Amino acid sequence: MESFARSQPIAGADTAPSKDATLIYRQSRWTRLTHWLWAISLFFMLLSGLQIFNARPQLYIGKESGFTYNNTVFAIGAENTATGPRGYTEIFGKRFDTTGVLGWSGPAGQETSRAFPSWATIPSYYDLGTARVVHFFFAWILSTTLIVWLVASLINGHLRRDLAPRIDDLKRLPRDIIDHAKLKFHHTREYNTLQKMAYGGVLFVLLPLMIITGLAMSPSMNAVLPFLNDLLGGRQTARTIHFIVMVLLVGFFIIHMLMILAAGPINELRSIITGWYRTDPPAHDGKSSERSV
Ligand code: HEM
Give the per-residue pLDDT at 86.
97
Q: Is 268 in the pocket of ligand 1 (CB under 6 A)?
A: yes
The predicted pLDDT at position 3 comes to 39
For residues 190 and 279, the answer to whether their CB atoms sit within 8 Å is no
Q: What is the structure's pLDDT at 219?
A: 82
Which residues are CB-contacts of 251 (< 8 A; sequence separation ≥ 6)? none
Mutate which of 149, 197, 245, 272 for ligand 1? The one with the most ligand atoms within 8 Å of its CB, which is 272
pLDDT in tens, 70-95: 789 999 999 999 999 999 999 999 99
Residues of the chain with pLDDT under 50: 1-14, 286-291, 293
Predicted local distance difference test score (pLDDT) of residue 8: 44
Say if ligand 1 is within 6 A of residue 260 CB. yes
User: Given CA atoms 38, 39, 41, 42 in this order, what sign does their dihedral have?
Assistant: positive
- The reply to whether ligand 1 has any atom less than 6 angstroms from the CB of 186 is no
The whole-angstrom separation of Cα 75 and Cα 67 is: 13
Q: What is the predicted pLDDT for the residue at 44?
A: 98
The percentage of residues in the chain with a pLDDT greater than 70, rounded to a whole number, is 88
Ordered structural domains, the chain, with CATH: 13-56+125-285 (1.20.950.20), 58-115 (no CATH)
In short, whether 37's Cβ falls inside 6 Å of ligand 1 is no
pLDDT digit string (tens) for 144-193? 999 999 999 999 999 999 999 999 999 999 999 999 999 999 999 999 99
